[in-house]
Amino acid sequence: MRIAPAVAGTGVVFRRVDLDNFELAANVGSVARVAYATTLMKRGVWISTVEHLLSALYGLGIDNAIVELDNFEVPILDGSALAFAEAIQRVGSRELDSPRNYIRITKSFMLEENGKSIAIHPAETFSIEYHIDFAHPLIGNQNIEIELTPKNYAQFVAPARTFGFYHEVEALQANGLIRGGSLTNAIVLTETGMLNETSLRFPDEFVRHKTLDLLGDFALIGAPVLGRIAANRAGHALHTRFVAALLDSTDHWNFSMDTEASVSITAL
As annotated, the active-site residues are 236
Residue 227 near residue 122, CB atoms below 8 Å: yes
Q: How far is it, in rounded angstroms, from Cα 234 to Cα 138?
A: 19
Provide the 10 A C-beta neighbour count for residue 157. Answer: 26
Residue 69 near residue 47, CB atoms below 8 Å: yes
Q: Which residues contact 142 (CB under 8 A, 6 or more apart)?
A: 131, 132, 133, 204, 206, 207
Strands 109-113 and 140-147, how do they pair? unpaired
Backbone dihedral angles phi then psi of residue 135, each to the nearest 5 degrees: -80, 70
Q: How far is it, in rounded angstroms, from Cα 94 to Cα 249?
A: 33
134: number of CA atoms within 13 Å, CB side? 21
Q: Which residues contact 169 (CB under 8 A, 6 or more apart)?
A: 178, 181, 188
Strands 126-134 and 140-147, how do they pair? antiparallel
Residue 99's SS3 state is: strand
